[in-house]
Amino acid sequence: MNTSEAHELLETHELLTFAATGAVNATQDLVRRVRAGVEGADAELVAEETLVLVAVATSRAVEVGLRSGAPAEAREQLCEALLALPFTYRDYLTGRAMLAQGEREAAGAMAEDAQSTREGLERKRQFYTSHLPAGRFPGEHALSDKMALWMGRISPPKLPEMPQERLEKLELVDPLVAHLKVVLAAARRRATTGETADGEQQTAERAAR
């Protein structure tokens, strides 16, 4: 691995860390707002649905931001890692529970639940990836429509207002849009530095001939 490749790998890892950290933070913010404003909402359902929604939207933002400059392989790896964030986070929570309960005791109980949990997460991921298509940045208008579906999925039945009304009342679209714009800008910077590094590498190779 030459210096240029090592630098590119480092920047890719930094972008992944940045986007994943932002996604977790955005998820926590949305979950807090929902739990404070929607009485009777199931905490685990809200957390899972929200993390999957945010992970998919973050992956789309990174994909669009990197489109002009980053190598296709790096772009795909970053997007796949972000799409896998809900599964990674579930594995982390499982590890914590095993430490708290005792590894042997927890392992047996969790093995039974692990497969159904992953299947549930996969269904959620398929739902949001179908509504937030690849190659498109999920802006305010698109998010307003799709987050109304999310709100319907996480809300208890028989609430008086429509999901769209709850979404607007709790002001949930703007925080996610802000997160995605920050991630998009970071991805675009990464794409720009990647183009610069490629140009410098090509110049060096021509000079060495």
Digit-coded pLDDT (tens) for 62-116: 999 998 777 788 889 999 999 999 999 988 877 776 666 665 555 555 566 777 8
What sign does the CA torsion over 28, 30, 35, 37 have?
positive
Q: Are 41 and 35 in contact (CB under 8 A)?
A: yes
At 114 the pLDDT is 73
Distance, in Å, from the CA atom of 182 to the CA atom of 176, rounded to the nearest integer, reads 10
Residue in 33, 137, 166 with CA at minimum distance from that of residue 79: 137
Q: Does residue 205 surpass a pLDDT of 70?
A: no
At 200 the pLDDT is 41
pTM of the model: 0.87
Q: Where are the alpha helices (DSSP H) in the chain?
A: 3-37, 43-66, 72-83, 85-101, 103-131, 140-154, 163-169, 173-208
